[in-house]
Structure 1
């Protein structure tokens, strides 16, 4: 069940393994309250013993050094591993109410909880996903909706050119806005696709920058319509207002979940 190697444990002890990677290797749920500092304190004797086998006898022969490493691997490290597995058995959720799944716990950190639950909850396995997986799902959901919105923009442009669904003045402005929005959403899709790559590389600040840029693209789409309207057309309704708002909420949730990986 726990596919942990001696090398993994050595990386943990030496500090070369980050917290997120450590949680992944140990299969520790991200919302656990069990402090790793407590674990290291409890096993300080074994950690010291493991280090002592390497440094207390600098003039050892190669045979003696090999013997010391064998002792380190087959006696000390297994004890640490067993204690770590016991820790997992007593691990309790953190910052979640009793019965919360991982998705609900993550969505509580967003500004748009219901949107988070409904949009991510429809993805199979999301309720048991690690925060990084949830962040990936959130970005993918945002990208999918951006593509759907772009297709809708093209449909509106086509129908606007073929009929008089808007009054004469508004039709001119809306058509111009739709062309601008098509460019904005195309750029938003590129930003989100790049953010997915950055997430995979652990570049969380870059993810923040790119997803924020995608949100700005939707805002520019909406603002462009307001700027192009003349004083006589203030009562006109832009057909993408609801799409822009929902897309911004999806991106906002993706940002909030990504921040869980940093703090």
Structure 2
């Protein structure tokens, strides 16, 4: 066998080893996080992060990497929410109350993007308290968005499912950050 064949086999083995380690890290971290927080769903945590991790090279190898990856995933979701809400605002079938709520949600998720950027900066500076405050503010935005639709009797949010996904993603970030804080 040629040297290049051995090299190829080595890199395949290394990739599979890293993927396996990352999957185990995700599973164990999600297990611990969901055990400590009843709002966090283990299956959602694992599925979301394994799907994201499989696209990263190299995948996360420690809790710090998971905090970064989950925060980026949450930020991507917030950006997607801004896009979804923009489309819903163009829908003429919604009344003025729903459109006002959607405009508020648009502003809230836009603020979340800024909060998540600030959380990443604070995290990289090892300022875990500020990172937690910014992540919590971002989490609150999804709840505020959902709750405002309930202020009018009989009204339902067109964003319930999306708000729940965002809430879970944000809970993952906060849980991992809390776990990391315990190690420092």
Task: Indicate the TM-score class for this superposition, using the shorter chain for normalisation.
Answer: 0.7 to 0.9
The runs of 4+ residues in structure 1 deviating greater than 6 Å are none
| Mapped contact 1:103–1:127 kept (Cα < 8 A) | no
Quote the offset at 1:142 in angstroms: 0.4
For 1:60-139, what aligned pairs fall within 5 Å after superposition?
A: 101-108=24-31, 109-110=33-34, 111-123=40-52, 124=54, 129-139=61-71
| Mapped contact 1:103–1:129 kept (Cα < 8 A) | no
Indicate the residue corresponding to 2:16 in structure 1: none
**CA deviation vs aligned residue, 1:67-114 (integer Å, no higher than 9, x gap):** xxxxxxxxxxxxxxxxxxxxxxxxxxxxxxxxx711111111232211
**CA deviation vs aligned residue, 1:157-183 (integer Å, no higher than 9, x gap):** 0123xxx3x4xxxx1211110111111
Q: Would you tell me which structure has more helix in proportion to its own residues?
A: 2
Quote the offset at 1:204 in angstroms: 1.0
| Mapped contact 1:211–1:251 kept (Cα < 8 A) | yes
Quote the offset at 1:147 in angstroms: 0.5
**CA deviation vs aligned residue, 1:191-235 (integer Å, no higher than 9, x gap):** 0111011111111111111100001111111111112x1x4xx1x
> CA-atom RMSD, angstroms?
1.6
**CA deviation vs aligned residue, 1:129-172 (integer Å, no higher than 9, x gap):** 21001000010000000100110000000123xxx3x4xxxx12
Of residues 159, 180, 186, the one that matches 2:104 is 180
2: CA distance between counterparts of 1:141 and 1:101? 19
Extract unaligned runs of 5+ from structure 2.
1-22, 35-39
Indicate the residue corresponding to 1:159 in structure 2: 91
2: CA distance between counterparts of 1:208 and 1:220? 18
Indicate the residue corresponding to 1:10 in structure 2: none
For 1:193-232, what aligned pairs fall within 5 Å after superposition?
A: 193-227=117-151, 229=152, 231=153
| Mapped contact 1:104–1:127 kept (Cα < 8 A) | no
The answer as to 2:72 corresponding to 1:140 is yes
Q: Which has the higher contact order (CA 8 A, sep 6+)?
A: 2
2: CA distance between counterparts of 1:129 and 1:159? 44
1: CA distance between counterparts of 2:41 and 2:108? 23
| Mapped contact 1:204–1:262 kept (Cα < 8 A) | yes
| Mapped contact 2:150–2:156 kept (Cα < 8 A) | no
Indicate the residue corresponding to 1:243 in structure 2: 162
Q: Rg bigger for which structure?
A: 1
Distance 1:178 1:138, change over 3 A: same
Give the number of equivalent residue pairs: 151
1: CA distance between counterparts of 2:109 and 2:59? 29
